[in-house]
Amino acid sequence: MREFPEWFRIPLGSWVDSVADWLTTEGAAVFQAISDVLFVLLLRIERALLWLPWPVLILLVAILAWRIVGIRLAGGVVVGLLFIGALGLWPEAMATLALVVSATLLATALGLPVGILMSGSDTARTMIRPLLDLMQTMPSFVYLIPALMLFGLGRVPALMATLVYAIPPVIRLTNLGIRQVSTSVVEAARSFGSTTMQILFWVQIPLAMPTIMAGINQTIMMALAMVVIASMIGAGGLGDEVLRAIGRLEVGRGFTGGISIVIMAIIIDRITAGLGERSQHDST
Amino acid sequence: MAAPIRIEGLTKIFGPRQQEALRMLDGGATKEEVLKKPRATVGIYDVSFDVEEGEVFVVMGLSGSGKSTLVRCLNRLIQPTRGSILIRDENVVEMDEEALRELRLHRVSMVFQQFGLFPHLSVRENVSYGLKVRGVSRQERMEKADAMLESVGLGEWATSRVGELSGGMQQRVGLARALATDPDILLMDEPFSALDPLIRREMQDELTELHDELSKTIVFITHDLDEALQIGDRIAVMKDGIVHQIGTPEEILRTPSTDYVAEFVDGVNPWGVINAEHVMDEPDAILYLSEGPRTALRKMSVAQLSSILVVDRGRKLRGILTADAAAEALENGDTDIGPYVEDLEGVGADVTLEELVPMGALSQHPLPVVSEDNRLMGVVVRASILDGLTSQHGQSRRTEEPAANGIGAEAK
């Protein structure tokens, strides 16, 4: 008994294949529509980022960093972004940023309600949790295949793959944050005749904000990590640089692309983490 | 108007198979048996009582007695399993969402042990929360909140975060928040238990004052017997979800109806509970201001006193006349004893023994007890205090009470 017998097989792979096939043929119109909408969103954001003269953008980000975190980060932002520009990767960086921003917006827009739903119902939590585990542990490359099949090559499938990979933290931490709100506070709100919605928006979400912000921060970081992988199906941007460098074994090119991603990651992380801390000060 | 709260057969069972548990309980099963078999927890079982208009009704019990479950049924934060709660003749148990919301918005509000304040809001926003839910305009609710804060002495803290306040101040915010909606009934779930003893005492006094002022009907939950005795007009003692006794503090102390209650009140310090009215005696002799020194001396010698309390026609206390002063008046040929009467302050009927002792109640002179309009109701002498402190005497004093009251009644 060194091998499983031939008859003892579950054809899970071909089942998934047939579902995907069915989806591609029957759902073509739906996916085309989704694709069109997302493409427009992505394009608008990227155009806006590239339309802004780079000094203006750098200044804006620096001001943001200064207001939210402090003058030192603002200095770091200026140096870091100038460095990316000097490497000649400004358009690529903006393409990547557009993808990350779009993925984060979508992830938050979808993840918040799902997280809220999970926090309000144990049944929903029991059902959604394994799905999130699956999404987070599945090797990220695997997402590329259905995204490719359903949306073809390009930015939109890259966005979809990034979204799927990056959405779990915001869902998880929204759920956690709301559940962590002290029951005595919620009870008090209820005792004054608040409706479920009033409790949610006036009490639970404000108090869960630090945790939710931490979730969004993690989602952004995961989106940034995914863009490199998603470049294999046409995400473009900095990931493309790295991918090409791998193909041609160009160490220098790989390094400049990689370091640019690191710089962006640090800047985005510090700013969003600062936002999270601020909401924490507001609620304690 | 109908009674503020009327509870009948109220039962709450937690866990699965509640109907089965109910049947078992009705058949005489104990809380432990029900927990073992259908694994149901009895919160409260068959609780019935009425709360009178404007009274402070205390529900007292140790943890697990069901007192918190009971109070949460009153505004249906917990849905009872059986029974009815009539608030001004409307059954809370059967209210739909809309009616329940209206009840919580306008008529019943609650103060919590852990304060339950909103940490992300300012003190003022906390206090005005109920009004916000009600849909009152921002301007109006801020004004109301500020007035409320003023009345609990936190006017200057309106814009602070609640986290910056001490425990006692936080609970004052909790109280102000509950009062801001001007409810008919105030539910207080161990509001002072989380506070330091000194602050607790202060808050209890303040609550009593506030209650006199606003005359709300209050249901007050506590595990502290002293607290219950101090602030309760009536007390319900609970254990294992069942009400053991309902009565005034004196009734609970003097005639405990079950062993549990007796055991509970056994350790209580009667000094803080028994007051002057309970231990006072009829004075052996009193002198009217219109009477002369000769009468005074005769009354004193009959009663074997060295001094006598002097009252006017309305039986209002005027002071005390010593035998020496009376003799002096007689010597001087004065028939009016007025100038010879020494001033003497009476004590109020509700002054406790604890407070009486430092006032000289243990000295040789009797201490006059007066009503609010200074009428002489009786006297406290050393012997009656010592008597009042022995529990056996607690019973016998009770039978004497009508006589003591008789003085007061006569005076009126």
Same domain for B286 and B402: yes
CA–CA gap between residue A247 and residue A240 (Å, rounded): 10
Is the distance from CB of B16 to CB of B38 less than 8 angstroms?
yes
**Res. A191 pLDDT band, cuts 50 70 90:** very high
Chain B residues closer than 8 Å to A213 by CB: none
Which homologous superfamily is A23-283 in? MetI-like (1.10.3720.10)
- Domain end point (choices B268, B284, B300): B268
Same domain for B245 and B287: no
Share of chain A above pLDDT 90, in %: 49
Secondary element (H or E) of residue A204: none
**Res. B398 pLDDT band, cuts 50 70 90:** very low
Chain B residues closer than 8 Å to A189 by CB: 118, 129
For residue A30, what are its two tokens? 């739906």
- Domain end point (choices B233, B268, B303): B268
Same domain for B97 and B232: yes
Chain B residues closer than 8 Å to A206 by CB: 120
At B166-213, the pLDDT tens digits run 888 999 999 999 999 999 999 999 999 888 888 888 888 889 888 888
Report the pLDDT averaged over residues A128-156. 85
Same domain for B312 and B248: no
Can you name the residues that pair with B380 across neighbouring β-strands?
Answer: B367
Nearest to A194 among B133, B161, B187 (CB): B133
The distance of B37 to chain A (nearest Cα, Å) reads: 26
Between positions 197 and 236 of A, the ones with CB within 8 A of B are 198, 202-203, 206-207
Longest dimension (CA), chain B: 91
Q: How far is CA B276 from CA B37, B204, B250, in A?
A: 53, 21, 13
- pLDDT score, position B373: 80
pLDDT above 80 (res A205): yes
pLDDT above 70 (res A95): yes
Is the distance from CB of B275 to CB of B352 less than 8 angstroms?
yes
Q: Which domain, by its residues, includes B263?
A: 1-107+218-268
Same domain for B294 and B231: no
- pLDDT score, position A261: 92
- pLDDT score, position A281: 59
B77 to A190: CB separation less than 8 angstroms, yes or no: yes
Identify whether B80 is part of a domain: yes
Same domain for B284 and B264: no
The distance of B70 to chain A (nearest Cα, Å) reads: 14
**Res. B337 pLDDT band, cuts 50 70 90:** confident
Report the pLDDT averaged over residues A268-284. 77
Q: What's the mean pLDDT when you consider all of chain A? A: 89
Q: Which residue of A has its CA nearest to B100?
A: A193
- pLDDT score, position B133: 92
Secondary structure of chain A: what % helix, strand, coil (to 5)? 85, 0, 15
- pLDDT score, position B127: 94
A192 to B181: CB separation less than 8 angstroms, yes or no: yes
At A252-266, the pLDDT tens digits run 999 999 999 999 999
pLDDT above 60 (res A72): yes
pLDDT above 70 (res B399): no
pLDDT above 50 (res B400): no
Chain A residues closer than 8 Å to B75 by CB: 191
Q: Name the more confident of B390 and B235.
A: B235
Identify whether B264 is part of a domain: yes
B119 to A185: CB separation less than 8 angstroms, yes or no: yes
Identify whether B363 is part of a domain: yes
What is the number of structural domains in chain B? 2
- pLDDT score, position A218: 93
- pLDDT score, position B396: 36
pLDDT above 60 (res B401): no
Q: Name the more confident of B152 and A110.
A: A110
pLDDT above 60 (res B408): no
Same domain for B103 and B235: yes
Report the pLDDT averaged over residues B219-244. 90
Q: Which residue of A184, A185, A192 to mutate against B (max B Cβ within 10 Å)?
A: A192
- pLDDT score, position A117: 95
Share of chain A above pLDDT 70, in %: 98
Report the pLDDT averaged over residues A65-79. 92
Identify whether B226 is part of a domain: yes
Q: What is the CATH number of the domain that holds B76?
A: 3.40.50.300
Q: Specify the amino acid at residue B194.
A: A
**Res. B336 pLDDT band, cuts 50 70 90:** confident
A193 to B132: CB separation less than 8 angstroms, yes or no: no
- pLDDT score, position B385: 67
Q: How far is CA B320 from CA B334, B346, B359, B406, in A?
A: 17, 11, 16, 22
- pLDDT score, position A280: 66
- pLDDT score, position B5: 92
A130 burial level (CB within 10 Å; 0-12, 13-18, 19+): exposed
Report the pLDDT averaged over residues A79-84. 94
- pLDDT score, position A256: 92
CA–CA gap between residue A37 and residue A44 (Å, rounded): 11
Chain A residues closer than 8 Å to B77 by CB: 187, 190-191
Sheet holding B90-91, edge to edge: B41-51, B5-14, B82-87, B90-91
Same domain for B384 and B319: yes
Pairs across A and B, CB distance < 8 A: 62
Identify whether B160 is part of a domain: no
Nearest to A191 among B109, B113, B132 (CB): B109
At B314-326, the pLDDT tens digits run 788 888 888 888 8
Secondary element (H or E) of residue B390: none
B181 to A203: CB separation less than 8 angstroms, yes or no: no
Same domain for B318 and B259: no
Q: How far is CA B352 from CA A267, B249, B279, B362, in A?
A: 69, 13, 10, 14
pLDDT above 50 (res B391): no
- pLDDT score, position B210: 86
Same domain for B375 and B358: yes
Report the pLDDT averaged over residues A149-172. 89
Q: Give, rounded to a whole angstrom, the gap between the first and last alpha carbons of chain B.
A: 30
For residue B183, what are its two tokens? 């409810």
Q: What is the CATH number of the domain that holds B366?
A: 3.10.580.10
Cα dihedral: A15, A16, A18, A24 (round 10): 170
Same domain for B84 and B51: yes
pLDDT above 50 (res A220): yes
- pLDDT score, position A151: 81
**Res. B237 pLDDT band, cuts 50 70 90:** very high
Report the pLDDT averaged over residues A150-156. 84
